[in-house]
């Protein structure tokens, strides 16, 4: 099902789904957390970084991935419809990304848009802090 959706996107834009593009997609699909280019490169032994960057740019333009910026780093993950819509809690100590799904947050975003007579078509909401595990380590030092 997921491969069919990906093929349809490429066909609709008259693009070829090459092996390197498929490999980058598969690495993102098999990850539970957003990945950096370095993370992706570690798993793409036969693809140079320039090709990975070009693939990620293409995927972003085709709305296949979401690009999440935390500090100075970009993280990449699949977008809808490949994974459910969600946001993240990022630990600034261990860099763990905890996905969160919140109907209350989605309602608030919709309410803010309506209040300002604005149609929200896309949004990113990420929270940075210290996770429970790291907080315990820090407190017990």
- Tens digit of each residue's pLDDT (9 = 90 or more) over 25-36: 999 999 988 999
What residue numbers does the annotated binding site for Fe cation cover?
Answer: 85, 106, 123
pLDDT (mean) for 98-104 = 87
pLDDT (mean) for 106-132 = 90
Q: Domain 1-83 falls in which CATH fold? A: Arc Repressor Mutant, subunit A (1.10.10)
Helix axis angle for 19-29 and 2-12, nearest 10°, is 140
| Residue-level pLDDT at 35 | 93
For residues 1 and 68, what is the distance between their CA atoms, to the nearest angstrom?
A: 25
For residue 32, give both structure tokens: 């539970």
Q: Residue 72: pLDDT above 80? A: yes
Options 3.90.550.10, 3.50.50.60, 3.30.2320.30, 3.30.1490.190; which CATH number does 84-141 get?
3.30.1490.190
Three-state SS across the chain? CHHHHHHHHHHHCCCCCCHHHHHHHHHHHCCCCCECHHHHHHHCCCCCHHHHHHHHHHHHHCCCEEEEEECCEEEEEECCCCCCCCEEEEECCCCCEEEECCHHHHHHHHHHHHHCCCCCCCCCCEEEECCHHHHHHHHCC
pTM over 0.85: no
Count other C-beta atoms under 10 Å from residue 138's C-beta.
10
Domain boundaries, the chain: 1-83, 84-141
What residue numbers does the annotated binding site for Zn(2+) cover?
Answer: 91, 94, 131, 134
What residue numbers does the annotated binding site cover?
Answer: 85, 91, 94, 106, 123, 131, 134
């Amino acid at each position: 099902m997921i491969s069919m959706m990906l093929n349809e996107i490429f066909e609709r834009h008259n693009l070829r789904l090459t092996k390197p593009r498929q490999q980058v997609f598969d690495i993102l699909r098999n990850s539970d957390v957003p990945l950096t280019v370095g993370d992706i490169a570690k798993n793409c032994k036969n693809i140079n970084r320039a090709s990975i960057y070009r693939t990620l740019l293409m995927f972003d333009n085709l709305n296949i991935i979401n690009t999440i910026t935390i500090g100075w780093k970009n993280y990449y993950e699949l977008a809808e419809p490949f994974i459910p819509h969600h946001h993240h809690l990022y630990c600034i100590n261990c860099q763990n990304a905890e996905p969160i799904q919140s109907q209350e947050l989605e309602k608030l975003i919709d309410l803010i848009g309506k209040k300002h007579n604005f149609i929200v078509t896309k949004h990113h909401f990420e929270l940075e802090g210290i996770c429970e595990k790291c907080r315990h380590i820090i407190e017990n030092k």
